[in-house]
Structures are given as C-alpha cells and as structure tokens.
Amino acid sequence: MPTHHDLPARPDLMVWGYLDATTPPVLHVESGDTVSVKTVPAGGGPFVHPNAAAVPPEFADILAKLPQLGTHILTGPIHVRGAADVTLDVPVVRHGDADTPIISSIFPGEMRSLSLRWTIYDPANITVPFHDVNSASDWTTMLSAMENFGGPPQNMMYADDQGHIGYHAVGRIPLRGSAGAPTPLSPVPTAAVGPDAASHEWAGYIPFEELPQAFDPKDGVLATANARITPDGYPYPITLNWWSPYRTERIYKVLETTPGKPLEPRRNLTPADMLALQTDVTSALDRVVAQRLVYAIDHTAGPLKNDKKLHQAADLMRNWDGNVTANSPAAAIVDAARSALWPMLLVPKLAPSLAPELAKGTDLSKLPPSAATHDALLWKAYVWGESQSVEEQIVANAPARWLPSQYANWEDFLAAVTDRGLRDAKAPGNLATWQFGKANPVDVPHPIFSRSKLLQDLIGVPTGTGVQPQSGDMTTVKQVSHTFGPSERLTVDFGDLDRTTLNIVLGESGNVSSPWYMDQFSAWLAGTTYPLPFSPSAIHATTTHTLTLVPR
C-alpha cells in the first residue's frame, strides 16, 4: 500500500546550490508513494529580512550550516527504490574564475561549442537591495542602495516629489583583460585556446560611480528606450549592440516641444500625456524610407517605370506623416518594402549562389535543405540592434558599393525592392484598401490551452486574444510586433499618487473562466488604461471585490 512521507526542511536534508550524481539520497521511497517536501526561500544574504528577529529560527539554522555552492536551497534528493538513476551530464568549463555551462551553437552547421559567462553565475552578485531602495529618501540614498544591485544591468530612472530627476545604469558590467585598460569587445566569440584568450577574460566590473548617469539635466528631460546611453569618449566598453535611436529621439522630441512653441519644453505633464507618449506610433525612420521610395519610383527608368501598382504605392506614401496607424496603407507598403530590402542587399554579396533564385522571386525560406549551405545562410545572421540606423543611411545616401550589380542605379533598385515587398506580402490589387494593422496583427495565445484544439473546444470560451489588428512597429515608442509588445503601461503622478494608472496585457488571472482573464486586453490594444489608487481611502473607494487568502 502506498505510503506518505514528510520531508522537512533541515540542514542535513538540503543542499545550497545544486544536486549532482554524488549527492546521497536523503529519502528512499517505493514507487507510488507520495511525499510532502518542505522548502525555504531561495538564497540568503540580501534575500533575508534585515531584522534578524523576523527570520524563523529554522531558516536561520539552515543559512548558518549549509555551504553556499549556488543560488537556490534545495531539499533532497529523493530516490525511488527499484528505479534506474538518470544522470544528466552538464558539461562546464573553468571560464576565468567561474564555472560556465557549455551550450551548442544556434547557427545551423556550426559544430563548435560556446561557453558564455554571465554575471549571475558569480555568487557575489546575488544581491537584492530593495529593502534599502524602499527606504531611500533622495537621489543620494537611492544610489547608495542601488550600488549593491548585482543583477544584470538595468536602466534606472529616478524622480521625486521635490522635482528632481535622474538616470543611472545599475548592475554589474564586466571589464575584460585589464580593469585599467580594458580590452575592446569582440563582435564574435573568441577561441578558448587562442593567443588572445586571456585578454578577453573578465578582470572585474565597471565601477558603479563610473556607470552612465545624469541628474537634473538643464532641459528637464530624461528618456531611455534601450538606445545608446554612453557619451562620446566614454572609457569603458559596454556593448556593440545598442538598439536603434528612433524611439528615444521621438520621446525627447515630444517632451522638449510645447505645441505651438517648438523651442520650449513641455511642462505640467499629466498621466494622460505620458500614456499618449507610451502609445505614440510616429516613426521617423518609416517616413524617411517612404519619401526615398517615392523618389525612386518617380524617377526609375528601369523595367518598373510604368508599373501602375508601384505608382499607386508612391501616391499613397507621398504625403504620409509617418504615423503607423492600424488602418494606414502607406505604413503597410513601407513595412513590406523594408522587409524585402535586406535580403535584396545581402544575398548577392554574402550568398551569390542564391542571387538567381532571389531575382526570380523565389521565397528563399522554402528552398530545399541542399541549397541552404553554411555560406548561403550567412545573410540571415546579419542582424543587430542598430541595423535600422544603417538601413536609413544606406537608403538616404545610396552608396555605390552597396548597389547590387544587376541594377543601373538606386532608383531602379529601390523600385524593385518595393515591388518585391508588395509581392512577398501578397498586397491587394488596390493598395488603398490595404491596412497595416491587418498585415501586422497581434495574437496572444494562452500558453497551455493554445496547444490543444480539443481543450479549446471542451472549454467553450476564448482562450486567447485571436488575431487583432494593431498600430505601431519596432521603431515607434509603442514598440510592437506580431509576438512582441509592452508587458505593462504604468504612469505615476508624484504630485498625486492616486492619479497613477496601470494596464497589463491581458488581466490579473490566467484562468480562462475568470472574469479577470483578458479583461484588460481591449485597453492594452486601444491604448487606454485603468486607475491604480495608492492611498487607503482611494483604494477603499474604488474596490469592487476583495479576495482574502487564509493560511491553513
């Protein structure tokens, strides 16, 4: 008859870090038995309440007696009698002074292994200073608290009710080779046995006080949207892959310009103003590309000179303001052309064997495996954060060295790019009926129920959003794609915290039968929001339902 076992949380029954094949079982059970396993919170140190009296004695005993080999405290292992052990080999290397897992390459045909070092593998970095953050009263005490943040780097924006604003990069950013004279970053992995291997090993971290920062700038505006945060001449290498600057530039433009007074910064911004900025869909890049495509179509002397569909595309883009709205035909045309641009530029240079197929209009993603050689796939790997900036420079400046040899000039080439994009996107015959949102929709499926049509039919209620037209693209402040978007939209009025607003993508519940599942999606899609009261009186006034959890 099956037996039930209780496995308590005690130092002699636990390990701090990981279970490996040499760790002896702390409990033997028969097949079919059940076990209740007691656990404790992950880690110690910064994860423990700063008041020792608030730490349960049994937890304090575990922290005092277990050697720390990793992050999590684990209860076990448990052995099932008669069952064969399954050993999972996790190869690691000594990467500098840290054990680093080895992973296989994600590039097809590449057989070499990769050993990636990560700040979180360093136990000294496992710090969570949020007790100190919660008690910070000004910029100085906030920095004092965040100096101890050891997680992956973050952009920290600061504002207080005294009118001060600030920015500081936080987290651990490694230096390589020498802390005094860091080695420049390599754009590709370096060989573990190469002559310069030691110069790429970590030699410490950028000092906190030297990380990019700003406080109370003269124009009264600070913004970050994953674009470059370092000034010219910054002495420490951080990354080679900043995101393109368009979203940050748009934020600054909106915040630094008062309607009707273009040289005067905006003042007295409200939560509604900030929500409008969060949902802004103006793209400077798309507008520049549109104007360049119009010029090319107007001036091409090649085979597409009299193509009626292309000239309709030019007319639709000609006076477009760059707003990537859901019903915009111009935005759909630009998006299609931009999708076709990079393959038509790169394939002739990096995969010339595929150039004839590209010229015939073949969908390169559907070529048989025999055609997809290692070299033929290189053009797909030519992707990085600031590629959009390079795209703008190429399209605007038309460098001769980038023009594919089969085209007489850039006007002929860009007309062909537009034509190819329209065909690849299966644009309608009348482009005026084309809508960006329908060509670039969003669909948020349930992570479990979406995997089974049978489950969806049995449940009988929507388990996901379905395909919905949306506005915005990856270069707008509202940064979205078919599978990507903001996880929440928060606006805070530090003068009146009860005017705070918050909208999450779907809702509070993941239970499809709950009224709070997908009840916020329509607001997320439309760019509206909900109040998030702060004071007890405001919370009480707006409460419609209370759920009380009672421990047993």
What's the CATH number where 389 sits? 1.10.1400
**Could you say which of 439, 463, 488 is where a domain stops?**
439
pLDDT value of position 285: 97
Same domain, yes or no, for 171 and 315? no
Checking if the pLDDT of 46 tops 70, the result is no
Same domain, yes or no, for 74 and 172? no
Range of the domain at 58: 4-80
Q: pTM of the full predicted structure? A: 0.84
Q: Tell me which of 9-23, 305-319, 396-410, 509-523 is least confident.
A: 9-23
pLDDT value of position 270: 87
pLDDT value of position 337: 97
Same domain, yes or no, for 205 and 289? no
Start-to-end C-alpha separation, the chain: 28
Mean of pLDDT values over 52-69: 87
248 found inside a domain: no
Query: What band does 105 get if pLDDT is binned at 50, 70 and 90?
Result: low
Mean pLDDT estimate for the chain: 88
Burial of 503 (0-12, 13-18, 19+ CB in 10 A): buried
CA atoms of 291 and 395, how far apart (whole Å): 10
CA geometry: angle 370, 372, 375, nearest 5 deg: 125
270 found inside a domain: no
Query: What band does 108 get if pLDDT is binned at 50, 70 and 90?
Result: low
Same domain, yes or no, for 288 and 434? yes
Mean of pLDDT values over 445-464: 86
Same domain, yes or no, for 409 and 455? no
**Could you say which of 80, 108, 126 is where a domain stops?**
80
pLDDT value of position 524: 96
* CB crowding 81-104: b at 16 or more within 10 Å, else e: eeeeeeeeeeeeeebbebebbeee
Residue 114: CATH number of its domain: 3.60.20.10
> What confidence tens digit (pLDDT) does each residue in 499-541 have?
999 999 999 999 998 999 999 999 999 999 999 999 999 999 9
Checking if the pLDDT of 293 tops 80, the result is yes
> What confidence tens digit (pLDDT) does each residue in 320-339 have?
999 999 999 999 999 999 99
Same domain, yes or no, for 434 and 453? no
> Residue 215: beta bridge partners?
166
224 found inside a domain: yes
> Residue 81: beta bridge partners?
none
pLDDT value of position 373: 58
> What confidence tens digit (pLDDT) does each residue in 73-102 have?
999 999 999 998 887 777 777 776 666 766
Q: Tell me which of 236-240, 303-307, 352-356 is least confident.
A: 352-356
Same domain, yes or no, for 301 and 431? yes
> What confidence tens digit (pLDDT) does each residue in 169-223 have?
999 999 999 888 999 998 877 877 788 888 888 899 999 999 999 999 998 889 9
- Tell me the Ramachandran region of residue 460: left when phi exceeds 0, alpha when psi lies from -120 to 50, beta otherwise: left
Same domain, yes or no, for 130 and 181? yes
Residue 223's SS3 state is coil
CA atoms of 299 and 522, how far apart (whole Å): 44
Kindly state the DSSP code that residue 534 receives in the 8-state scheme: -
Same domain, yes or no, for 50 and 147? no
Checking if the pLDDT of 372 tops 60, the result is no
CA atoms of 113 and 106, how far apart (whole Å): 10
Count of structural domains, the chain: 4
> What confidence tens digit (pLDDT) does each residue in 250-281 have?
999 999 888 777 667 677 888 899 999 999 99
**Could you say which of 390, 419, 439 is where a domain stops?**
439
530 found inside a domain: yes
34 found inside a domain: yes
276 found inside a domain: no
274 found inside a domain: no
CA atoms of 457 and 333, how far apart (whole Å): 37
CA atoms of 92 and 121, how far apart (whole Å): 12
CA atoms of 326 and 470, how far apart (whole Å): 5
Same domain, yes or no, for 338 and 422? yes
Same domain, yes or no, for 455 and 488? yes
Same domain, yes or no, for 107 and 228? yes
CA atoms of 503 and 521, how far apart (whole Å): 9
Length reported for the chain: 552
Task: Look at residues 222, 118, 214, 134 and name the one whose alpha carbon lies nearest to residue 172.
Answer: 118
Helix axes 329-350 and 387-397, enclosed angle (nearest 10): 90
Segment holding 538, helix H or strand E: helix 536-542
- The answer to whether the beta carbons of residues 243 and 213 sit under 8 Å apart is no
pLDDT value of position 370: 58
251 found inside a domain: no
pLDDT value of position 419: 96
Alpha helices by DSSP H, listed for 2-48, are: none
Query: What band does 354 get if pLDDT is binned at 50, 70 and 90?
Result: confident
pLDDT value of position 471: 97
- The answer to whether the beta carbons of residues 5 and 35 sit under 8 Å apart is yes
Beta-carbon contacts of 139 under 8 Å, excluding residues fewer than 6 positions away, are 158, 160, 164, 166, 215
Query: What band does 21 get if pLDDT is binned at 50, 70 and 90?
Result: confident
